[in-house]
């Protein structure tokens, strides 16, 4: 037994002098006593080899884990966040909605690709689900239709697009009566993604009383969900309206011309939908395309005839029928074509407008186009919506 200081000096001295017979000097402090421990070369080699083998084994095991990549058709939604929404849904069944999550295989330790899934108490559906029974309304205006509006315009819009809503409120959306018929305009939004944004949206709702919000993730990919929630709101909150219109937030609408069309004695009041018709459109299979739809969601090579989603008007008996038909139609992410697929199941054909030129897509130069003769046109921005409106009003 040697003292602590003497042992330390001994170790340091031999290490500096390169003494070969002292391989390791280890001070083991146990109950105030100091011991000198000698470790043989063979033991050092054994420890070193064991450590290296452990590192190699760990690295090899990690390299065998599968590498998963996001599906290209999910690239347009936020894949970095995890959403877990619990709701009773319109069917009364409790649902847990996991959006774009990685689901662990129940029979192995491998992980599958990201998927959108609805889990209920008795089943698990690993597919894109659009049926409105899976969602509920966070903000609602259930009494808006008590005055029996003739026409209800439903505008799907992102929660943060306040300027788009204000542009509509100050132009065509401000009209509550056209040709003696009551008109109602409402905006449909999804989840805001943050407490502050939600608070601002609720304040806007209190101010204008024209917002409806449902608990789906608001994204381009989810426009089909958004449209089906619109159909459900019309079916459950506003069945007394005669006509309804789904219209995008960047659209110019000429309300006078629209009302003239709907009041025409030749315009049906049942099983009627019209707008800019799309015939014999091919299904896009290019995974890099914004409009890509995989065969597993829609196996046909071409879509049935449908009405372009920028703005279509329909008799208000259709929403409950479309919602019911959607139970049997696997949802895909092209919302207007999906509505067309539901109509095909109902054996209802979209109608061509008496004057198809009234439903326009883009108008590059409003000064060279007689906007007063149109029903719809894509303006493209809140500023353009106001410009188109002022252009028509200024010529009256």
Q: Could you read off the pLDDT of 17-55 as tens digits, one per residue?
A: 444 433 344 333 333 444 444 455 666 666 676 777 666
pLDDT surpasses 60 at 58: no
Q: For residue 8, what pLDDT band results from cuts at 50, 70 and 90?
A: very low
Question: What is the distance between the alpha carbons of residues 47 and 346, in angstroms, rounded to a whole number?
Answer: 75
pLDDT at 168 > cutoff 90: yes
Residue identified by tokens 């509006």 is 149
Domains of the chain, start order: 4-63 (no CATH), 72-133 (no CATH), 147-394 (3.90.550.10)
Q: Please, which pLDDT band fits residue 376 given cuts at 50, 70 and 90?
A: very high
The conformation of residue 76, written as its DSSP 8-state character, comes to: T
Degrees (nearest 5) of the Cα angle 123, 124, 125? Answer: 120
Query: 158 vs 98, which has greater pLDDT?
Result: 158
- Tell me how far apart the alpha carbons of residues 392 and 171 are, in angstroms, rounded to a whole number: 11
Cβ 379 vs Cβ 361: under 8 Å: no
pLDDT of 394 reads: 78
Phi-psi region of 100 (alpha: psi -120 to 50; beta: other; left: phi over 0): left
Please give the model's pTM, rounded to 2 decimal places.
0.70
Query: Per-residue confidence at 378, pLDDT binned at 50, 70, 90?
Result: very high
> pLDDT value at position 134?
80
337 pLDDT exceeds 90?
yes
Task: Say yes or no to pLDDT of 142 above 70.
Answer: yes
Mean pLDDT, rounded, of the chain: 78
Is the confidence at residue 123, as pLDDT, over 70?
Answer: no
**87 φ, ψ (degrees, to nearest 5):** -150, 160
Mean of pLDDT values over 203-231 = 95
**Number of neighbours of residue 79 by Cβ within 10 angstroms:** 15
Instruction: Inform me whether the pLDDT recorded for 12 exceeds 50.
Output: no
Cα separation, 173 vs 47, in Å, equals 78
Question: Residues with Cβ < 8 Å from 46, sequence gap 6 or more?
Answer: none
What is the bridge-based pairing of β-strands 151-156 and 181-191?
parallel
Q: Encoding tokens for residue 142?
A: 């259930």
């Amino acid at each position: 037994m040697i003292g602590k200081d003497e042992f330390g000096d001994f170790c340091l001295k031999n290490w500096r002098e390169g003494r070969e017979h002292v391989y390791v000097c280890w001070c083991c402090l146990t109950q105030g006593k100091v011991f000198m421990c000698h470790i043989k070369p063979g033991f050092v080699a054994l420890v070193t080899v064991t450590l290296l083998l452990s590192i190699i084994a760990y690295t090899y095991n990690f390299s065998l884990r599968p590498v998963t990549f996001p599906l290209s058709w999910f690239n347009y939604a936020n894949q970095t966040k995890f959403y877990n929404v619990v709701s009773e849904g319109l069917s009364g069944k409790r649902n847990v909605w996991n959006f774009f999550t990685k689901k662990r295989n129940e029979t192995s330790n491998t992980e599958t690709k990201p998927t959108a899934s609805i889990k209920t108490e008795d089943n698990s559906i690993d597919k894109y689900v659009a049926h409105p029974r899976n969602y509920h309304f966070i903000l609602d205006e259930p009494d808006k239709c008590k005055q029996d509006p003739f026409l209800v315009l439903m505008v799907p819009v992102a929660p943060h697009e306040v300027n788009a809503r204000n542009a509509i409120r100050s132009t065509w959306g401000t009209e509550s009566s056209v040709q003696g018929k009551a008109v109602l305009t409402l905006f449909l939004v999804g989840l805001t993604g943050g407490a502050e944004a939600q608070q601002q949206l609720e304040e806007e709702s209190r101010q204008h009383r024209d917002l409806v919000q449902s608990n789906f993730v608001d994204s381009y990919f989810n426009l089909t969900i958004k449209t089906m929630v619109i159909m459900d709101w019309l079916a459950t909150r506003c069945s007394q309206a005669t006509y309804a219109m789904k219209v995008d937030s960047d659209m110019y609408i000429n309300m006078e011309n629209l009302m003239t069309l709907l009041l025409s004695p030749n315009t049906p009041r049942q099983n009627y939908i019209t707008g800019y018709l799309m015939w014999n459109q091919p299904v896009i299979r290019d995974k890099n395309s914004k409009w890509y739809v995989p065969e597993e969601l829609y196996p046909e090579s071409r879509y049935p005839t449908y009405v372009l989603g920028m703005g279509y008007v329909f008799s208000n008996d259709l929403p409950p029928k479309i919602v019911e038909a959607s139970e049997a139609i696997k949802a895909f992410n092209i919302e207007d074509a999906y509505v067309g697929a539901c109509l095909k199941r109902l054996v209802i054909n979209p109608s061509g407008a008496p004057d198809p030129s009234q439903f326009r897509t883009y108008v590059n130069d409003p000064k060279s186009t007689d906007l007063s003769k149109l029903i719809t046109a894509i303006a493209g921005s809140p500023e353009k919506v106001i410009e188109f409106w002022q252009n028509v009003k200024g010529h009256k």
